[in-house]
Amino acid sequence: MKNSEQLKLRFEKYLAGHCTLEETQSLMDHFHLDEDSALLREMIVETLDVQDESYPFNPMIVELVAKVDTDLFLQIHAEDGGRSMYKHRALKLWYRIVAVAAIAALVFFGVHFFKTNDGTGIHPIRLTAKEIVPGSVGATLTLADGKTIELSNAVNGELARESGVVITKSSDGSLVYEIEQSSVELNRLNTLSTAKGQTYQVRLPDGSLVYLNAASSLTYKTSLIENGKRIVSLQGEGYFEIVKDKAHPFIVKTHNQEVEVLGTHFNISSYQDDAVEKTTLLEGSVKLSAFGNFRILKPGQQAKLIDGKMSVEETDTDLAIAWKDNKFVFESEPIERVMKLVERWYNVEVVYVGDKTLEKFTGNISRFDNISKVLQVVELTKTVHFKIEGRKIYVSK
């Protein structure tokens, strides 16, 4: 049996949902072989072309698209001399499926939908600089006595004991605090900090979970309790899943505001180099206080604090916590916002050359991808260009 016939049979078996894990992985591997990728792309598009646009997608196609490599995705959108590689209707379905899949493989719907205005095609940039890899799990724990522990290098198990509190690194890599015995010295401060390109998770003594984004820090007493309240201080960005305890309200302090909760899920972005401080509520209720202003948020609302003035509006909470799911998600954002997130996660310096583009960017990008893939996709909008020199990214129109 010819290889092409075997691939077609495997593809049909996959669509029927009958492939084993090994067979599925084998099919994915063929996407990276020059002699097979074109045939597989054609089979996907042929399947899309007979798909009723009003009918729910075959979930196996959605899954397959989600596993396709970025380079393949770009090839499918490429045009040769203005002649589309595939039928227009199939491409429309492809776009819709990509949106449904929310794929981690660098899908970035820019302002020009990946096409040049003159129809001559699209060409991803070529970056010759040493590849800049994405961030990873890691943080530094600073104990009350000034001792620091690099958590990315620390082995799992007990890390320290401080005044009746046992601090351990769990098997999943997160930091865990457990109060072993009562002590009058439980007010000693710890600070968990992430550098650019790092993220980390900590389970506090009350069982609450905090996820720290890059270039952030969380400071708290080892017992968490201060004057009858659970209090932490945040710089940067954190996502909180707070255990209910009516007797001990949970307080998050930032440089501009306080957020008080009993038990809830919420996200706070409070970087000092950002003009706006955002608090987004997913579940429960929180009370915000800043500069004499008080607001109570409901689920699905976001509070913005700008120059001492607070506003509240409905929001898409998925946008606020995309970083926790290892994604960049943008919705009509300026290039400065896009590159600010890139700068923090990839630990690079962004330099703007000349006037900045005024276009807005909307898209979904995996934080697992190397920076070259991210920049390639953003540049496909034809409104911005990049040049890498060392760890500097030069941005121009």
CATH number of 107-132+331-397: 3.55.50.30
Which has the higher per-residue pLDDT, 26 or 333?
Answer: 333
Two structure tokens written together for 369 = 């991808």
Q: Is the dihedral of CA 165, 169, 171, 173 positive or negative?
A: positive
**321 pLDDT exceeds 90?**
yes
What is the rounded CA–CA span in Å between residue 71 and residue 94? 15
Dihedral sign computed on CA atoms, order 369, 370, 372, 378: positive
CA gap 384, 112 in Å, rounded:
12
* Long-range Cβ contacts of 161-164 (<8 Å, 24+ apart): 162/188, 162/190, 162/222, 163/188, 163/222
Q: Which residue has the higher pLDDT, 368 or 83?
A: 368
- Model confidence at 114: pLDDT above 60: no
* 136-315 CATH: 2.60.120.1440
- pLDDT exceeds cutoff 90 at 258: yes
Where residue 376 falls among pLDDT bands split at 50, 70, 90?
confident
- Percent of the chain whose predicted confidence (pLDDT) is above 70: 72
Q: How confident is the model at residue 56 (pLDDT cuts 50, 70, 90)?
A: very low
Tokens of 172: 């999943």
Residue-wise pLDDT tens digits, 139-172: 999 998 899 999 988 888 999 887 678 899 998 8
Domain ranges of the chain: 3-101, 107-132+331-397, 136-315
Residue 51 has a pLDDT of 53
Tokens of 184: 């009058």
d(CA 56, CA 297): 36
Q: Is 158 exposed, middle or buried, given 0-12, 13-18 or 19+ CB atoms closer than 10 A?
A: exposed
Answer with the residue of higher pLDDT: 300 or 182: 300
